Amino acid sequence: MLDTEGNRREGGLECVSFTVCGQVYCLNIMMIREIRRWASVTTLPHADAHVLGVINLRGNVIPVFDLAVHFGLGRTEPGPRNVVIIADVEGATSGLLVESVSEILTVDPIDIQDPPRFEKDGHSSLIEGVISVGEEMAQLIDLRHLSHARGDAAA
Amino acid sequence: MGESDDIRAMFFEECNDLMEALFEGLKLLEDNTPEPDTVNAVFRAVHSIKGGAGAFKLDDLVSFAHKFETVLDELRADRLSRDDALVQTMLRAADHLAHLVEVSQFDGEINSERGEALLEELDFYVAGEEDEEEVAFEPMTLNFGGIDIEAPSKPTVSVRFQPFEKLYFNGHDPLLLIDALGSQGELSIEIDLDALPALDEYASETPTLTFLLTFTADDPETVVDEVFEFVDGICRLEVVRNDGDDGGDGGSSLEADLSPEPPEQDEPAQANPTEIEQGSKVAAEPSTKAKNIVRNDAVAVQPTLRVELDKVDRLINTVGELIINQAMIAQRIDMLNLPGDGDLESDMADYKLLARELQEGVMSIRAQPVKSLFQRMARITREAGDATGKSVRFVTHGENTEVDKTVIERLADPLTHMIRNAVDHGLEDREGRLAAGKPETGQISLSASHKSGNVMIEVVDDGAGLNRDRILDIAINKGLVSRDSDLTDPEIDMLLFLPGFSTNDEVSELSGRGVGMDVVKTAVQALGGRISINSTPGNGTKFSIVLPLTLAVMDGIVISVAGETMIVPITAVVETLRPKESEVFRMGVDQDLLMIRGEYVPIVDVRKKLGLADSQDQQEQLVLVLVESVDHSRCALCVDAIHDQRQVVIKAVGGNYGEIPGVSAATILGNGRIALILDTDHLTKVETISPPLPSNSKQDVKVAHA
């Protein structure tokens, strides 16, 4: 299910893991363009709660999303300790506010379990699979659903 | 494969230029103000298209261009004289040619019906003439063959033709050129083999052959000029008249050449030196004369450079960044509170000036005259006139007005629609016009001009004007406005721009395609422009579009709302003001009105409208920006503060996020932060007119009730 990304390296999938409200998530490294320190955003009118606003990334206007709100975990209080992951999703660039970035994992695709299905659970659609990292469980995010999820959240 | 695609793309690009030249020439012919070279230029354009099309095996295009070219050739040779019917036919033929080019480029469907009709029309001109010509010519050709005495009376030229590498590279074939020459007179050919290098130095890419042609015809120079017209500049061509000015030499070579079929290999050693000598000796004067003729049309055109649009855009972007960076540095220096008389300050001022200049320079690269667009519209007008059976005169003004390339491209669709509308709905039919005491031929005029930093484009027809009663009826029937609404004339006119509005009950082939003027308005707005209508019953309708010069920068007023910095486009701003308390009135529950110069104007709280209402503190004094929307309705935007007026670089927000109601774009401020550019027309949309569209985003509805 992942080989469309062309990201297998020696059979492993490289992911960046980060925490949002105490939970560990990870994201395919090929989608990540850079990681920046938090800088204040310009608020957008009529935006959904998980849309923090837009930032200037070398002349481009990039929307920044609060993943915590997206997962229904409350708000991330933006501060200098937080970071913004700049990710490319299907041609569009967006920023994801997370608490902190931890490490780069190499995951064997076999070790990725399908997420358990909950009925009518909007946010699990963003979760592509779960991986054990030591004692922790990391949730692999599929950002391609972020735009659709935006519509869900608005409804 | 890739390369041939490139060449193909290049061909179509050239076709565009050629079509432009073609229409320009035809227009001169139409106005009956042809310049000496007009017919030639038109002929050349068609001929080049034919030639290129042949290389790509575009047979339909070739055969049509060929027929067209034949007619033009007749005209060029004065065997056919210009008359209005012919010019009209040629214009339509040119339209069809443009159509064929488009079809070949984008794989569309050929309008073969029109093609055949036109071929017949063209045939009428050629066939009639050709038959005559042939009858008249036959005996003469016989004479040529039979009687030698005729020959000396005809002038002879020696042509030294040395193709350059580029000639072969461009796909020309010397043999074809020489054949073409041979078909129009007597020709003998020699080849100068002197330049041939030894085998070990031979480079296959570098042409070494020089052809020495001796040509006899009635007017040999002209024929040679015509035949070699298309390889001008990519070969060395020396034309020397053999008789007349230098008798002895020319005479001898003439004799030698006239001796029947000199075997080429036999004589080169003897013939060449004299030829070459003569060529180089005399080349100076006659060739300058020849060149002068060619130059004539080249002088008018400035040398140009074809650059990929991508590169220019990247440059523009970078310069945009430079401007922002400059503003940032200026702000930083400002914050240092340095003593006021420093050199730094004047250096910064210079820097700013240079950056601005650089930006303007780069922007002007993208600017192009609207001529090609206008020509296209002329085509549309003719087609629309044909389809509706109305006789239409199309007049343009200011075709050299320069506008950003993207603007031109994106204006094509809305303008097409407006022109079709003007012909279809605007102009009355023949009887109607006569009854109204107007000339039978309707007039559509399209003009472009620069007006205070904007581009103004106007489409004017001299038709019956808008039928406001009917418009209102339809709008009411379609539920676009309420029955009891009392609208002013301009407001009624603006109803045309509502989605789902179409005045014509019967769907005509021309304009009833389910898209209305709302599409035009949307397209114009997407370009940061505004559109307005001015209609006088009985005298016609004028649509005016005001567009920014470029899509990349605009002037705006910097305001702040709810702690955010925002920009109001200056094109919309009438004035800024702090009203006295006595000038503000409350209407209903929460609607404030501003009384300004005897007019009550609604006050729109930007903070609320944008859904940013978080602070309750009511300001002591209102700060208002009076704006005028495209429909001329005024509205006062209530903001927290007004800071500055400045030029801002426009950045799209839609790409990475999606449309935001009330925001048209964004810009980057001196401190690197993003400021949103407000869409005043959206903010001030008068609710009574806003159509109750279920498809509209939820936010709109929310706002309407807020």
For chain A, 155 residues long, give each residue's pLDDT as a single digit of tens: 444 444 444 567 888 999 888 888 898 888 898 998 888 888 888 877 888 888 888 778 889 988 888 888 888 887 778 899 999 887 788 899 988 888 888 888 888 888 776 655 555 467 888 888 878 888 888 877 665 444 333 33
Mean pLDDT computed over B84-110? 81
Which pLDDT score, from 0 to 100, does residue A85 have? Answer: 92
Tell me the nearest-neighbour CA distance from A69 into chain B, angstroms. Answer: 17
CB-CB neighbours of B678 under 10 Å: 30
CA distance A145 to chain B (A): 14
Cβ distance A61 to B564 less than 8 Å, yes or no, reads no
Range with the largest mean pLDDT of B139-143, B313-317, B350-354, B687-691: B350-354
Instruction: pLDDT band for B191, please (50, 70, 90 cuts).
Output: confident
Interface with chain A: mutation pick from B674, B682, B703, highest number of A CBs within 10 Å: B674
- pLDDT, one tens digit per residue, over B60-87 is 888 888 888 888 888 877 777 777 788 8
pLDDT at A4: 44
What are B462's two structure tokens? 């001299």
- Average pLDDT for B464-480: 82
Please report which residue ranges of A44-145 form alpha helices under DSSP H.
67-70
Taking CB atoms and an 8 Å limit, are B652 and A55 in contact across chains? no
Contact A46 B662 (CB under 8 A): yes
Mean pLDDT, to the nearest integer, of B143-172?
Answer: 67
Cα separation, B53 vs B104, whole angstroms: 9
Per the CB < 8 Å rule, is A60 touching B651?
yes
Contact between chains at A43 and B612 (C-beta distance less than 8 A)? yes
Question: So what's the pLDDT on residue B130?
Answer: 45
> Got the DSSP string for B232-290?
TTSEEEEEEE-SSSSHHHHHHHHHHHHSS---TTTSHHHHHHHHHHHHHHHHHHHHHHH
- The DSSP secondary structure of B141-184, one letter per residue, reads HHHHHH-STHHHHS-EEEEEEEE-HHHHHTT--HHHHHHHHHTT
- Contact of B64 with B40, CB cutoff 8 Å: no
B254, pLDDT greater than 70: no
Strands (E), chain A: 8-9, 12-20, 23-28, 32-37, 51-57, 60-66, 83-89, 92-98, 100-107, 127-133, 136-141
pLDDT score of B264 more than 60:
no
pLDDT given at position A140: 87
The contact set of B with A (CB < 8 A) is 317, 320-321, 324, 562, 564-565, 609-612, 651-653, 655-657, 660-663, 666, 668, 672-676, 698-699, 702-703
pLDDT at residue number B445 = 92
User: Averaging pLDDT over each range in B57-71, B135-149, B285-299, which range is the top one?
Assistant: B57-71
> Is the CB of residue A132 less than 8 Å away from at least one CB of chain B?
no
B656, B661, B702 ranked by CB distance to A94: nearest: B656
Please name the helix (run of DSSP H) or strand (run of DSSP E) that holds residue B556, with its range, or none. Answer: strand B553-561
Helix-then-strand count for chain B, H and E: 22, 22
How far CA B414 is from CA of B252, B406, B446, B550, B579, in Å, comes to: 68, 13, 13, 18, 40
Residue B652 has pLDDT above 80, yes or no: no
Please determine, for residue B650, whether its predicted confidence score (pLDDT) is greater than 70: yes
Residues 6+ apart with CB under 8 A from B61: B49, B50, B53, B97, B100, B101, B104
Do residue B653 and residue A45 have CB atoms under 8 angstroms apart? Answer: no
Q: Are B294 and B232 in contact (CB under 8 A)?
A: yes
Say whether pLDDT at B145 is over 60.
no
Q: What's the N-to-C CA distance of chain A in angstroms?
A: 29
Indicate the residue of A51, A61, A94 with minimum beta-carbon distance to B674.
A61
| Spatial distance between the Cα atoms of B648 and B670, rounded to a whole number of angstroms | 10
Mean pLDDT, residues B9-33 taken together:
81
Percent of chain B exceeding pLDDT 70 equals 78
CA-to-CA distance for A145 and B452, rounded, in angstroms?
47
Residue B107 pLDDT grade (very low, low, confident, very high; cuts 50, 70, 90):
confident
pLDDT for B480: 75
B531 neighbors B520 (Cβ within 8 angstroms):
yes
DSSP state of B624: E
* pLDDT the model gives residue B494: 80
For every residue of A31-66, DSSP letters joined together read: GEEEEEE----BPPTT--TTEEEEEEETTEEEEEEE
How would residue B699 be classed by pLDDT, with cut points 50, 70 and 90? very low
Contact A42 B611 (CB under 8 A): no
> Lowest-confidence range among A6-20, A132-146, B402-416, B485-499?
A6-20
Q: By CA distance, what is A95's nearest residue in B? A: B656
The verdict on A49 touching B (C-beta cutoff 8 Å) is no
CA of B454 vs chain A CAs: smallest distance (Å): 25
Q: Which residue has the higher pLDDT, B464 or B248?
A: B464
Contact of B667 with B461, CB cutoff 8 Å: no
Residue in chain A nearest B699 by alpha carbon: A46
Residue from the list A45, A59, A63 with its beta carbon closest to the beta carbon of B611? A45
- Contact (CB<8Å) B324/A59: yes
A6, two tokens: 């062309």
- What's the confidence (pLDDT) of residue B617? 57
Give the mutation candidate from B657, B696, B701, B703 for the A interface (greatest A CB count, under 10 A): B657
Q: Is residue B456 within 8 Å of residue B398, measured between CB atoms?
A: no
Residue type, A88: D
**Alpha carbon of A110: minimum distance to chain B alpha carbons (Å):** 33
Res. B620 pLDDT band, cuts 50 70 90: low
The reply to whether A105 touches chain B by the CB within 8 Å rule is no
Look at residue B340 in the predicted model and tell me its pLDDT. 67
Find chain B residues with C-beta within 8 A of A154's C-beta: 698
Are A94 and B317 in contact (CB < 8 Å)? no
Read off the tokens for B316: 């523009």
Helix (H), strand (E) at residue B318: helix B309-335
| pLDDT tens digit sequence for B423-441 | 888 888 888 888 888 888 8
Q: Mean pLDDT throughout B673-692?
A: 68
Q: Which residues of chain A make contact with B562, given a CB cutoff of 8 A?
A: 43
Q: What is the pTM of this model?
A: 0.49
End-to-end CA distance of chain B: 60
Which residues does chain A have within 8 Å of residue B653's beta carbon, measured at their own beta carbons? 54, 61
Is residue B679's pLDDT more than 80? Answer: yes
B555-579 tens-digit pLDDT = 789 998 888 889 998 878 888 888 8
Identify from A37, A38, A43 which residue to disrupt to test chain B contact, counting B C-beta atoms within 10 A and taking the largest count.
A43
Let me know the angle formed at the C-alpha of A135 by A129 and A141, rounded to the nearest 5 degrees.
Answer: 25
CB B616 within 8 A of CB B626: no
Q: How many CB pairs under 8 A join A and B?
A: 71
Give the strand pairing for B634-639 and B186-192. Answer: unpaired
Contact: B656, A58; criterion CB under 8 Å: no
Give the helix ranges, DSSP H, for B336-404: 343-366, 371-388
Tell me the residue type at B163: P
| B651, B661, B666 ranked by CB distance to A46: nearest | B661
Residue B44 has pLDDT above 60, yes or no: yes
Q: What percent of chain B has pLDDT over 90?
A: 1
Q: Do B656 and A61 touch (CB under 8 A)?
A: yes
